[in-house]
């Protein structure tokens, strides 16, 4: 019934269609009962809150946190019942935490609102009522005809109608969408391409039917029906017709397009994918510790309540003469009184749960993440790219990585292809002095002496020059002579290509005499040794990962219809019926063994009847609205058969700098490296050997080319047996995609056992989802290791999102990986610095931060518990309510925050040069149960010393003043609190290895601030306070010499055993890290290495000044690099 009402009101469409119908210029049919479809407006909304929902929505999200909700309950209890402490003691810290977090989130959302308003208010031109109307971007509706000029970005997703060119083509760059800077060509259908004026477009009567919005940037299925006089012409629409919001128009004066997807339904907006929230191991440990402390709190509250009633069983303690009960108290329910007392004790001890821990951790992660971006060692000067942090929640997880999953192309290699060899008609060739030379040919011809190409060579090179998606800089295609000099030698053309392989092949062909000189309309021009030939481009059969090939159908100058196709050898050779197939297969394997990337090239001639059949099938498949991809795949397979093999190419992709050293360092750190690539088996193995992933001494095991479960299982069992027999030797495993699918289907456990016993694993012929599946397999194994995935392309996104930590490489395959990653770096070699230095330091800092917080709160609240034994569990508080409120907020917060930002327990240079130190912190070693137990017991020990030390020294029969006045309740509590503040601050000082002036300032400044605050708070009568129990208490305490003696004695007693323990452990059972600390103890650290590299001898003030300059944007890495000479002794 409710659904029916929603449908009638228009809130819930009764039947959501799979397609949408768009009437161009919103010319809806006048006949019948047409009901226009409802589409989204063109506003982009990236903000999370509005003015109206910010407060309730933000509060709801914050109180979903256990600690915040717990303190809210405590605050409400204090308001409802008579508790020993003021509601302010819980309410003020809670208010502080909630306010700080809300301000941070509100500011971030305000920036998003500001950016949205700029985008939505941008001026655009729309064709309405026969003219161009200027309006705002947010006012564009689906069906509007929009004009976009050169270098402008598209405000909506448009179907191209026409451009200033006769053929209706335009060039765009999608760098802001996928990072690809090459020019992409988009074309309009012929019927609308001729409509180049506003007046003609205003007369256009056409309807577009297309799919509903989806996030895939490269998929679009639709058709346009153009009404011309008495006939209707139907044309297919694909990705080549769609101009995406966010892309930019290039090399074209202006275009007109019709809006098909607007606002949050554009493909750009649909790719604002909110990534699944990743939680670090530290956060999980922190939540476990909170639960343990909650149990301690409940135990203390229940025990205190029971002991109170046990004590009051005697009548003299139940109702002493100085505290007689009222009639209401005598008649009240015992159960209600018990619950009330339990809640009162819960309030009294609630500060054992550190509410400010969350906000401190958030500040530490947020501020600490800037150091990664500031690190000049992670700055790549050639590309002017610095490290990028997309999420600061996983900083410490960088110090816990056990498995690294890496892509090969563009991650381990440069993704800069260079043509090396080719095979034509069964003969291997190399490029020598700008010409193709058969293998073994030694004659060295002069550069200018060009030989004529053989027929097979020329046909092969023409196939390479025609079968691609390469574009040429428009400025170079002008002029009658094109790019040729008078002597017939080509001058370099500037090519743009989405695939580096294609660019390398087209450039190589141009160097040896067959030059692709550009496209004109539907024609492609090729010059063979100066002779120009024009081929008409009939159809393009686009590349897709399933076919692993692309093809073009062209009409030669003689009128012959030809198919040229290129792709992986596994997709070309089985479809070839003639040519030197066996010889080419051998050559392809030889190329792969050299580490070259291979492609096979073939062609086919069509008879007029065959071409007519093909054209018909292609048109039917391309105009289909349902299952278009499946139909096109069938047609492509029908076309790409009975091929004649021309040859194969071998292109080299060079390794990045210091890849081998980085992989070896990761291995020394105890991290296992898996390479997951789509390349063929031989190429992948060759690159693994060259980059040090596989050693020459390694026993290489193979699980490849299995077609059935039984053979795969048998091979796995044999591999497991060999590993057990040769357990001394290091093993490397190679597995391909098909064998992996079989292994994961039925034999997952056996496969994992084999993999874990191998030092290195190489997975080749991997699909993107298989990469993610492998990561998930390791991630969810019983040991639950911390995984890191690193890649540079769109095919690595699923793997990056699946791993605990995802790192994107700012490479040449777009920015999809960077956008979806947690961290982004320019080169693979930077991974060692990111893990061994930043990861190590972040982990040590936050592990100490979390445990110190619990320690200081145990120190804080345990004396309160012990005091109840001396006041008959009357719930009398030991500390003044102001001290309760400010302990975590003011007195002890800054030293640990500064420690968690600047601490360097080992010099960063040492951490990077000795990867073995990374093992000391693996498997959450510093935040496990033993360290947690140590800090908790230490907190209880110090609390007992505070309380009983103060009690024994000053608690009984000790005169405070010369007039004989004795210690009072508040004076005793203040003494305990003073000792506690000094001790926990000094404990933080003992944990600090790296001292800057900031550490000195906040450590000693916190103690001084406490004394100054207490003197002012207790030395003045404040008119706004109802009671002032602390008046003159602190002054009287400090006027006593015995009090000063007690403070010094108790602080030394607390810290003495801690110092002794540290010294003994360091000398008797030192870890690798502690050994390094001892060796460098004399040298010291004198620069803020965690921020960036600075020259030796700088003062701390200079370092901080540089940090502030960076914050204000006045310190560029380029300038600092030129000023600072980076040396091993002074830099990280």
d(CA 299, CA 474) in angstroms, rounded, equals 78
What residues have CB less than 8 Å from 996, skipping those under 6 apart? 902, 1088, 1100, 1103, 1104
Contacts of 307 (CB under 8 A, 6+ apart): 868, 869, 873
Catalytic (active site) residue 1058:
no
Residue 578 φ/ψ, nearest 5 degrees: -145, 175
Does residue 834 contact residue 823 with C-beta atoms inside 8 Å? Answer: yes
Positive/negative CA dihedral, 1090, 1096, 1102, 1106: negative
DSSP 837: I
Q: Cα–Cα distances in Å, from 960 out to 167, 920, 924, 968, 970? A: 100, 51, 49, 10, 13
Whether 1040 and 974 have beta carbons less than 8 Å apart is answered as no
Q: Which helix (H) or strand (E) holds 429?
A: strand 427-432
Residue whose tokens read 């297969």: 585
DSSP character at residue 922: G
* Integer Cα distance of 106 and 108 in angstroms: 5
Per the listing, tokens 């023409």 go with 462
The DSSP secondary structure of 659-710, one letter per residue, reads HHHHHHHHHHTT-EEEEE-SS-HHHHHHHHHHTTSS-TTSEEEEE-S--SHH
Would you list the DSSP string of 190-202? HHHHT--SHHHHH
DSSP code, position 794: G
Contact 404, 673 (CB under 8 A): yes
Pairing of strands 123-128, 206-211: unpaired
Residue whose pair of structure tokens reads 């275009």 in the numeric block? 255
Strands 576-578 vs 672-676: parallel, antiparallel or unpaired: unpaired
Q: Which of 861, 853, 854 lies closest to 883 in space, CA to CA?
A: 861
Q: Tell me how far the alpha carbon of residue 610 is from its chain's centroid.
A: 50
How many other C-beta atoms are found inside a 10 Å radius of the C-beta of residue 370?
Answer: 16
| CB atoms near residue 95 (< 10 Å) | 13
- Kindly report the length of the chain: 1132
Confirm if 892 and 985 have CB atoms less than 8 A apart: yes
> How many whole angstroms separate alpha carbon 341 and alpha carbon 337?
6
Q: How far apart are CA 1016 and CA 1030, in angstroms?
A: 11
Q: How far is CA 376 from CA 305, 658, 726, 900, 1083, in A?
A: 59, 17, 45, 21, 23
The partner residues of 825 in beta bridges, in order of sequence, read 809
For 87, the token pair is 């509601």
Element (H, E) at 1002: helix 997-1019
Neighbours of 679 (CB within 10 A): 23
Q: What angle do CA 344, 346, 57 make, to 5 degrees?
A: 110
User: What does the alpha-carbon distance between residue 90 and residue 72 come to, in Å, rounded to a whole number?
Assistant: 8
List the catalytic residue out of 157, 341, 375, 407.
407
Task: Considering only the C-alpha atoms of the chain, give the largest distance between any 2 of them, rounded to a whole number of Å.
Answer: 122
Q: Where are the beta strands (DSSP E) in 262-346?
A: none
Residues annotated as part of the active site: 407
């Amino acid at each position: 019934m409710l659904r029916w009402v929603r449908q009638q009101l228009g809130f819930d469409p009764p039947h959501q269609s799979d397609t949408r119908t768009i009437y161009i210029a919103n010319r809806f049919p006048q006949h019948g009962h047409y009901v226009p479809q409802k589409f989204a407006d063109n506003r982009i909304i990236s903000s999370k809150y509005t003015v109206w929902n910010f407060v309730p929505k933000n509060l709801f999200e914050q109180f979903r946190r256990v600690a915040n909700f717990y303190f809210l309950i405590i605050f409400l209890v204090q308001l409802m019942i008579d508790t020993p402490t003021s509601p302010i003691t819980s309410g003020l810290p809670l208010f502080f935490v909630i306010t700080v977090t809300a301000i941070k989130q509100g500011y971030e959302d305000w920036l998003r609102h500001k950016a949205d308003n700029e985008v939505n208010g941008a001026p655009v031109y729309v064709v309405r009522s026969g003219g161009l109307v200027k309006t705002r971007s947010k006012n564009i509706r689906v069906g509007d005809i929009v004009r976009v000029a050169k270098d402008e970005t598209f405000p909506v997703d448009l179907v191209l109608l026409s451009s200033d060119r006769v053929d209706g083509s335009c060039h765009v760059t999608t760098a802001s969408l996928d990072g690809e800077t090459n020019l992409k060509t988009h074309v309009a259908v012929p019927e609308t391409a001729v409509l180049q004026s506003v007046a003609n477009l205003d007369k256009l009567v056409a309807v577009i039917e297309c799919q509903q919005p989806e996030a895939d940037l490269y998929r679009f299925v639709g058709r346009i029906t153009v009404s011309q006089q008495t006939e209707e012409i139907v044309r297919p629409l694909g990705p080549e017709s769609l101009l995406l919001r966010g892309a930019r128009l290039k090399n074209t004066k202006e275009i007109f397009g019709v809006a098909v997807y607007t606002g949050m339904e554009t493909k750009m907006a649909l790719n604002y994918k909110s990534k699944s929230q990743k939680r670090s191991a530290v956060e999980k440990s922190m939540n476990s510790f909170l639960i343990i402390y909650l149990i301690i709190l409940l135990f203390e509250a229940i025990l205190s309540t029971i002991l109170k009633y046990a004590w009051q069983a005697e009548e003299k303690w139940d109702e002493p003469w100085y505290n007689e009960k009222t009639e209401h108290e005598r008649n009240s329910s015992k159960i209600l009184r018990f619950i009330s007392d339990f809640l009162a004790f819960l309030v009294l001890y609630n500060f054992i749960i550190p509410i400010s821990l969350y906000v401190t951790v958030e500040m530490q992660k947020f501020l600490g993440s800037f150091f990664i971006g500031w690190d000049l060692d992670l700055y790549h000067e050639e590309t002017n790219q610095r490290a990028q942090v997309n999420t600061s929640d996983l900083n410490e997880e960088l110090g816990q990585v056990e498995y690294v999953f890496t892509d090969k192309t563009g991650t381990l290699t440069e993704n800069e292809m260079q043509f090396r060899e080719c095979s034509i008609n069964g003969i291997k060739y190399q490029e020598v002095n700008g010409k193709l030379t058969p293998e073994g040919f030694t004659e060295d011809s002069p550069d200018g002496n060009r030989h004529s190409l053989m027929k097979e060579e020329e046909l092969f090179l023409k196939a390479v020059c025609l079968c691609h998606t390469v574009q040429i800089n428009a400025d170079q295609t002008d002029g009658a002579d094109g790019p040729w000099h008078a002597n017939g030698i080509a001058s370099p053309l500037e090519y743009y290509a989405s695939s580096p392989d294609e660019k390398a092949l087209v450039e190589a062909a141009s160097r040896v005499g067959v030059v692709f000189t550009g496209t004109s309309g539907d024609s492609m021009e090729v010059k063979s040794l100066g002779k120009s030939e024009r081929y008409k481009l009939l159809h393009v059969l686009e590349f897709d990962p399933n076919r692993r090939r692309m093809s073009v159908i062209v009409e030669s100058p003689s009128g012959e219809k030809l198919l040229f196709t290129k792709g992986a050898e596994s997709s070309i050779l089985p479809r070839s019926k003639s040519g030197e197939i066996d010889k080419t297969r051998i050559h392809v394997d030889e190329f792969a063994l050299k580490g070259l990337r291979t492609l096979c090239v073939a062609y086919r001639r069509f008879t007029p009847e065959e071409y007519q059949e093909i054209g018909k099938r292609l048109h039917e498949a391309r105009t289909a609205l349902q299952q278009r991809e499946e139909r096109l795949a069938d047609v492509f397979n029908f076309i790409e058969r009975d091929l004649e093999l021309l040859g194969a190419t071998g292109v080299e992709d060079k390794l990045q700098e210091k890849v081998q050293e980085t992989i070896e360092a990761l291995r020394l750190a105890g991290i296992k490296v898996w390479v997951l690539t789509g390349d063929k088996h031989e190429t992948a193995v060759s690159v693994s050997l060259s980059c040090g992933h596989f050693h020459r001494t390694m026993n290489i095991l193979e699980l490849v080319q299995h077609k059935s479960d039984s053979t795969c299982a048998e091979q796995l069992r044999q591999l497991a047996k060999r590993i057990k027999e040769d357990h001394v030797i290091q093993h490397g495993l190679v597995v391909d995609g098909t064998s992996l699918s079989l292994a994961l289907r039925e034999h997952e456990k056996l496969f994992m056992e084999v993999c874990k016993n191998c030092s290195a694993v190489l997975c080749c012929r991997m699909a993107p989802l298989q990469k993610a599946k492998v990561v998930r397999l390791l991630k969810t194994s019983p040991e639950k290791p911390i995984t890191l995935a690193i890649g540079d392309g769109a095919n690595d996104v699923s793997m990056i999102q699946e791993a605990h930590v995802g790192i994107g490489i700012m490479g040449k395959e777009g920015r999809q990986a960077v956008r979806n990653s947690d961290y982004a770096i320019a080169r693979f070699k930077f991974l060692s610095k990111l893990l061994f230095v930043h990861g190590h330091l972040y982990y040590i800092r936050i592990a100490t931060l979390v445990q110190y917080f619990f320690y200081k709160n145990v120190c804080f609240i345990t004396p309160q518990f012990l005091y109840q034994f001396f006041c008959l569990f009357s719930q009398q508080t030991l500390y003044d309510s102001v001290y309760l409120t400010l302990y975590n907020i003011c007195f002890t917060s800054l030293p640990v925050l500064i420690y968690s930002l600047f601490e360097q327990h080992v010099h960063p240079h040492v951490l990077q040069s000795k990867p073995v130190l990374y093992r000391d912190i693996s498997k959450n070693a510093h935040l496990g149960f033993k360290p947690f137990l140590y800090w908790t017991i230490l907190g209880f020990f110090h609390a007992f010393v505070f309380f009983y030390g103060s009690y024994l020294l000053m608690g009984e029969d000790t005169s405070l003043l010369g007039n004989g006045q004795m210690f009072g309740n508040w004076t005793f509590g203040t003494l305990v609190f003073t000792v506690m503040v000094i001790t926990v601050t000094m404990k933080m000082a003992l944990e600090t290895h790296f001292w800057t002036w900031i550490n000195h300032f906040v450590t000693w400044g916190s103690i001084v601030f406490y004394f100054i605050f207490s003197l002012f708070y207790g030395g003045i009568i404040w008119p706004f306070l109802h009671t002032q129990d602390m008046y003159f208490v602190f002054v009287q305490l400090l006027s006593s010499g015995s009090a000063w003696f007690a403070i010094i004695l108790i602080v030394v007693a607390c810290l003495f055993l801690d110092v002794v323990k540290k010294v003994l452990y360091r000398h008797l059972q030192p870890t690798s890290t502690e050994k390094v600390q001892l060796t460098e103890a004399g040298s010291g650290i004198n620069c803020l290495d965690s921020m960036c590299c600075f020259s030796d001898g700088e003062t701390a003030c200079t370092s901080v000044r540089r940090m502030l300059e960076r914050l204000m944007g006045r310190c560029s890495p380029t300038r600092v690099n030129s000023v600072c000479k980076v040396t091993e002794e002074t830099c990280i």
